[in-house]
């Protein structure tokens, strides 16, 4: 991956734009229905790093260029696409900076998992606007997003069993938590492709809109977050909600809630939130996310066997 004169990565397979508090990341291989590669994986990780480091970014919006969201792994490598690579990606080289992804449990890391876990760790809320086919890793990479909106032309498929594989991108953790174990197993065991209406019925997406309205709807939601909420509050709440999915008792949530409320209750954003409410004006929250990251533990925590 090359770097521009401004010090930012020069992306080849995604587009990255920031406007009005929203960082829009667009998968950009439209001639291949945005099929997933190692290069794309590395660029997505770098883009989320940029968004996290930029206080001007309040929300991340992830979508695809052209008529597809992501058609899954690029299978141009044929039957050897997945052999010994530890992931759902093809193409890319060591020189790209995405070919040396390390190991976990002593085996090469799954490339889809590298992306999904980076999305999971985002400091900013993530909206996935699924504009077309989202199959394989194209579906699983959306699971760590906080909100998924689909165009009525979108299609989804957890097709791994039809390719002799198992679900990747940590989706065996995410998918049952998003849609429930029965629905997750139906989609995974059949490997079939299904439409946006079924995705909505199965709670994979929160809403379905006409294709022409997808990006306006997603941007309106991003604008609502950016204009009305404390960046610190949203970041910490995101960590709290996701991290509590694996805890056995509400006492764990109570412990975390109490700490966060104790710290934020003495901070400038709460003061501004109350004053703006009493004065009947829009809030202007001054606190920076980077000053409060130690209030709630990082999620997901880095495991000891990651190399």
For residue range 176-186, list pLDDT tens digits in order: 999 999 999 99
Question: What fold does the segment set 2-225 form as a domain?
Answer: 2-enoyl-CoA Hydratase; Chain A, domain 1 (3.90.226)
- pLDDT category at 48 given cuts 50, 70, 90 is very high
Crossing angle for the helix pair 38-53 and 111-120, to the nearest 10 degrees: 10
96: pLDDT strictly greater than 80? no
Residue-wise pLDDT for 233-289, tens only, equals 999 999 999 999 999 999 999 999 999 999 999 999 999 999 999 999 999 999 999
Query: Which is nearest to 44 in space by CA: 103, 96, 105, 85?
Result: 96
Percent of the residues in the chain that have a pLDDT greater than 90, as a whole number: 87
Give pLDDT, residue 75: 79
Instruction: Please compute the mean of the pLDDT values over residues 177-200 and round it to a whole number.
Output: 98
Please give the CATH superfamily to which domain 230-291 belongs.
Lyase 2-enoyl-coa Hydratase, Chain  A, domain 2 (1.10.12.10)
Residue ranges of domains in the chain: 2-225, 230-291
81: pLDDT strictly greater than 90? no
d(CA 270, CA 259): 15
What pTM, to 2 d.p., does this model score? 0.92
Q: What residues have CB less than 8 Å from 187, skipping those under 6 apart?
A: 156, 157, 158, 175, 179, 194, 202
């Amino acid at each position: 991956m090359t770097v521009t004169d401004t010090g930012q990565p020069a992306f080849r397979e995604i587009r990255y734009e920031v406007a009005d508090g929203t960082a829009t990341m667009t998968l950009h291989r439209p001639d291949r229905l945005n099929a997933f590669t190692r290069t794309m994986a590395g660029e997505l990780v770098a883009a989320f790093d940029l968004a996290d480091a930029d206080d001007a970014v309040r929300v991340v919006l992830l979508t695809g260029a052209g008529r597809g969201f992501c058609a899954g792994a690029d299978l141009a490598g044929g039957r050897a696409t997945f052999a010994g690579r530890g992931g759902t990606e093809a193409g890319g080289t060591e020189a790209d900076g995405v070919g040396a992804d390390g190991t976990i449990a002593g085996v090469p890391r799954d490339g889809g998992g590298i992306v999904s876990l980076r999305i999971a760790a985002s400091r900013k809320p993530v909206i996935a606007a699924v504009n077309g086919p989202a199959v394989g890793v194209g579906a699983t990479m959306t699971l760590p997003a906080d909100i998924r909106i689909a165009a009525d032309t979108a299609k989804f498929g957890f097709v791994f069993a039809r390719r002799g594989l198992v679900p990747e991108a940590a989706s065996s953790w995410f998918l049952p938590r998003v849609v429930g174990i029965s629905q997750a197993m139906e989609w995974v065991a059949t490997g079939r492709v299904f439409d946006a209406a079924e995705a909505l019925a199965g709670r994979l997406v929160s809403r379905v809109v006409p294709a022409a309205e997808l990006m306006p709807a997603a941007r309106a939601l991003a604008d609502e977050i950016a204009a009305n909420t404390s960046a610190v509050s949203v970041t910490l709440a995101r960590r709290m909600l996701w991290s509590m999915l694996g805890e056995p008792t509400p006492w764990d949530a109570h412990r975390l809630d109490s700490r966060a409320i104790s710290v934020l209750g003495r901070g400038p954003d709460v003061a501004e939130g109350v004053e703006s409410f009493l004065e009947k004006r829009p809030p202007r929250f001054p606190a920076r996310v980077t000053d409060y990251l130690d209030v709630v533990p990082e999620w997901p925590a880095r495991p000891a066997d990651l190399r």
